[in-house]
Amino acid sequence: MTRPILEVVGLVAGYEPGVPIVRGASIRVDKGEIVVVLGPNGAGKSSFIKAVAGLVPVSGGTVLLDGDDITTLPAHQMVRRGLAFVPQTENIFPLMSIEDNLRTAGGILKPKLAAERIERMYETFPDLKSFRRISAGNLSGGQRQMLAVARALIVEPKLLVLDEPSAGLSPKFVSMVFSMLGDIRRAGMTILLVEQNAKAALAIGDRAYVLVEGKEAHEGVASELWNDPVVAELYLGQRPHQPPGGEL
């Protein structure tokens, strides 16, 4: 059996000691896969993915990246080990030009290599090339996500991890972002993706996990999960539906 790119076993993590938000979650991502983590709002999806990326303190379990134990590695060392994380927000520098955004992302590379990789990103994302001198804050929502992904890819990571790349985008840009992720995977990348947009994510994903209360409650082939009654109950049936006036 080939070694998974990412193997998370029994991960426990949270923001305060003794208050776990991630409660024993386990997932695996094999080379070349897109794996999707779904779940109701507040299920702990962002906390889970941030704990994997070294941004939320871990108090139990293990995270192996291509066989290396990275469980307690601080976030800034993850990228050197091959895990590139694209947070949901603040994933670009809006006041910097596109080119400077890419240059800072390639900061751990030798300058010549960084310059080659920037050119490669311009080939992959021609929009970014035409806007390269423009401040990133002027980009559309879809183009911003493109830049955030390009910044992550510049180091040629083993695993690309994204937290809700389609959040807040109009439907046109949602399709653009998902089709971009499909292209990146076809180019050989391995992707772990957290998404609220279950339908779009399952359409490009290979396998998916449903996270409920900080633990994976269900796992399956992405194309089958959308019609799975367990998922419908766990996830789709749990859309927040506050009674008038809300709960006291």
Ligand X SMILES: Nc1ncnc2c1ncn2[C@@H]1O[C@H](COP(=O)(O)OP(=O)(O)O)[C@@H](O)[C@H]1O
Task: Name the residues that contact Mg ion, by CB under 5 A.
Answer: 45-46
- From Mg ion, ligand X, none, which one binds at residue 15 (CB under 5 to 8 Å depending on kind)? ligand X
Rounded Cα distance, 50 and 103, in Å:
24
What token pair was written down for 239? 């859309």
Whether 164 and 194 have beta carbons less than 8 Å apart is answered as yes
CB of 45 to ligand X, least distance (A): 3
Rounded Cα distance, 242 and 17, in Å:
30
Q: Give the three-state DSSP class for 191.
A: strand
Is residue 168 involved in binding ligand X (CB under 6 A)? no
Whether 151 and 102 have beta carbons less than 8 Å apart is answered as yes
Which residues neighbour 21 within 8 Å (Cβ) at sequence distance 6 or greater? 13, 14, 15, 44, 47, 56, 214
CB of 225 to ligand X, least distance (A): 17
Residues 6-25 within binding reach of ligand X (CB under 6 A):
15, 21
- From Mg ion, ligand X, none, which one binds at residue 43 (CB under 5 to 8 Å depending on kind)? ligand X
CB of 104 to ligand X, least distance (A): 25
Is residue 205 involved in binding ligand X (CB under 6 A)? no
CB of 47 to ligand X, least distance (A): 3
Beta carbon nearer to ligand X, 25 or 29: 25
Segment interacting with ligand X (CB under 6 A) among 41-49, 107-115, 138-146, 173-181: 41-49
Beta carbon nearer to ligand X, 56 or 121: 56
Rounded Cα distance, 41 and 25, in Å:
17
Sequence-separated contacts (24+) of 223-228 with Cβ below 8 Å: 225/38, 226/198, 226/199, 226/202
Whether 203 and 36 have beta carbons less than 8 Å apart is answered as no
Segment interacting with ligand X (CB under 6 A) among 35-43, 119-127, 167-175, 236-244: 35-43
Is residue 86 involved in binding ligand X (CB under 6 A)? no
Beta carbon nearer to Mg ion, 163 or 228: 163
How many residues in the shown chain lie near ligand X by CB under 6 A? 10
Which positions touch ligand X (CB under 6 A)? Answer: 15, 21, 39, 41-47
